[in-house]
Amino acid sequence: MLKLDLSKIAGFIPQDYVDSRKANLEQAAQMLAAHNGPGGDYTGWVYLPRDYDKEEFARIQAAAKRIQQQSQVLVVIGIGGSYLGARAVVELLASPNYNLKKKDTPDILFAGNGLSTDALLETISLIGDRDFSVNVISKSGTTTEPAVAFCIFKTMLEEKYGKEGARERIYATTDKARGALKGLADGEGYEEFVVPDDVGGRYSVLTAVGLLPIAVAGIDIQALMDGAAQAMEQLSVPGVDNPAWQYAAARHALYENGKKVELLACYEPCFRFFAEWWKQLYGESEGKDGKGLFPASVEYTADLHSMGQYIQEGERLMFETVVQFRPKGEYVIPNDPANVDGLNFLSGKPLSFVAQQAMRAVILAHVDGGVPNVLIQMPQLSALSAGYLIYFFEYVCGLSGYLLGVNPFNQPGVEAYKVNMYALLGKPGYEAQKSELEARL
C-alpha cells in the first residue's frame, strides 16, 4: 500500500542509519506491542484497528445515519486531539469544499477549537435556520474552548427544539466514567460515545472521537479501520525492511545530524488538515525535554511560491517528507491554436504529468540545496489508504519517541497556559496565581 523512498537522504546521514538503530528499534517495537514503555498506559491505539469496540462501532454508524436524517448541519465541538483527526479525514476524503458540495449528508461545522467571537458568530450564521445536531467531544469536559462552545450551542438547541428535542440532537464523546461532560451527558440523557482511557487525544482519530463526524460525512469508516488494520499487520513485523522502522530511523538520524525541522509536504490541497493532525501527533509526542523535530507543513505547489525561497536557501535546518497520492481522475491540457503563452509543448499531456515532473524537479532542487527528502508514495486516496496512512504515522511516531528517549504519550507542556488562563479568568481555586500573573502583565 505504502512505498517509502529514502534514496534522497543518502549523503546527509551515515549509510548504516537503520542498522545502527536496529536494537533500539527492536526495543521500541516491543515496548509498543507490550504496552510497557514510557507512557505505555496510552498505547491502546497499537491494536485498536483489531480490538476496537464493535458494539460501539455499530452505534456510531447508527448515530451517523440518525444525524444525517435529523439535521442539515452537524456542529462538531472539540479542540486538539478531540478535533483535528475528524477534520483531517473529512477534508482528506470528502474535500475541504465538502460543505459547498451538493450532497445528501449534513454540512459539518467545527466549533470550540478557538476563542474567536467572530468565528463563532459566523458558525451560527452559517447554520441559519437549518436543523442542526451537535457532537461535543471532550475527554476531560473541562477544556475551556469546547466547554464554552458547548454551553452556547446547547442553549441554542434548547431554545430551538426544547430540552427534550435538544437531547435527541446532542451526542457526547467523552470519558467512560469521569469528568464534567460525562456527568452532564448522564444527567441529561445524551447518547454517549467513549474516548478510551488508553488512547490519548492525538491518537484518537480511529475511536468515536474521529469516527462519528467522519461517518456523518458519508465516509466508509469500516474501510478506514480496515486500512489501519492492514498497516497494523504489516508494520508489526520486526526488521530493517519494515518501512516504519526505516522512516523512524531516518528521522532520528537526520535529527542527530543537525536537522531540526521536518516539513511535511503534499501536492493535494485536501491534505492541509491531515498535516495539521500530523503536526499535533508529532509535536506533542516528541517536543519535550528540550528535544524533538519541529513539525511543519507546506502545500505544494502553492507554497513553492511563498515558502520555496526559504526552503531552498534559508537556514539548513530542515528535511522534507513528501506524501504523494496517485490521482483519482485525469485532465488533459488543451491545445491553444494561438499558442500565445508558448504552452503548447504541454498540450495533450495530463495535468498529473505536469505535477509529477514538478515534484521531481522540487525534490532534486531541495536536495541540492541541502534539504534531504523522504518520499511516501500512496495509491489513490480512499478510506482504505487513509486508514493505512493514519496508522503508519501513528506507529512511526511511537517508535520515534522511544528512539529519541522521551515519553511520546504525555503532554505536560500543554498545561502551562491552561493554568494561567484559568487564573486570569478568575476560576475558583486559582486566586493566588491570578494576583501573581496580573502583577507581571
Chain positions contacting ligand PA5, by CB under 6 A: 79-82, 138-140, 143, 146, 200-202, 284, 411
CB of 146 to ligand PA5, least distance (A): 5
Q: Nearer to ligand PA5 by C-beta: 17 or 277?
A: 277
CA–CA dist 137, 140 (Å, integer): 9
Q: Nearer to ligand PA5 by C-beta: 57 or 409?
A: 409
Q: How far is CA 364 from CA 265, 297, 372, in A?
A: 15, 19, 9
Cis omega (within 30 of 0) on the bond before 143? no
Among the options 101, 176, 349, 418, which is catalytic?
418
CA–CA dist 35, 46 (Å, integer): 9
CB of 78 to ligand PA5, least distance (A): 6
Q: Nearer to ligand PA5 by C-beta: 162 or 413?
A: 413
Q: Is 321 helix (H, G, I), strand (E, B) or coil?
A: strand
Q: Nearer to ligand PA5 by C-beta: 1 or 152?
A: 152
CA–CA dist 441, 432 (Å, integer): 15
Q: Nearer to ligand PA5 by C-beta: 407 or 411?
A: 411
CB of 80 to ligand PA5, least distance (A): 2
Q: How far is CA 337 from CA 223, 346, 354, in A?
A: 46, 13, 20
CB of 47 to ligand PA5, least distance (A): 20
Among the options 164, 305, 315, 328, which is catalytic?
305
Active site residue 418: yes
CB of 139 to ligand PA5, least distance (A): 4
32 near 395, Cβ under 8 Å? yes
Single out the residue of 233, 264, 269 nearest to residue 247, CA to CA: 264
The counts of H helices and E strands in the chain are: 16, 10
CB of 28 to ligand PA5, least distance (A): 21
Angle between helices 383-404 and 22-34 (to 10 degrees): 110
Q: Nearer to ligand PA5 by C-beta: 230 or 411?
A: 411
Q: In this structure, what C-alpha cell is assigned to residue 34?
A: 507490550
Strand partners, 261: 294, 318
264 near 321, Cβ under 8 Å? yes
111 near 75, Cβ under 8 Å? yes
> Which residues are CB-contacts of 302 (< 8 A; sequence separation ≥ 6)?
269
Q: What does the DSSP 8-state code read for residue 5? A: E
CB of 402 to ligand PA5, least distance (A): 18
Q: Nearer to ligand PA5 by C-beta: 110 or 325?
A: 110
> Which residues are CB-contacts of 16 (< 8 A; sequence separation ≥ 6)?
none
Q: Nearer to ligand PA5 by C-beta: 200 or 408?
A: 200
CB of 409 to ligand PA5, least distance (A): 10
Among the options 145, 191, 192, 284, which is catalytic?
284
Radius of gyration, CA atoms only, the chain = 23
Q: How far is CA 35 from CA 38, 154, 162, 175, 208, in A?
A: 9, 38, 46, 20, 22
Q: How far is CA 420 from CA 289, 408, 414, 431, in A?
A: 21, 25, 11, 11
Q: Which residues are catalytic?
A: 284, 305, 418
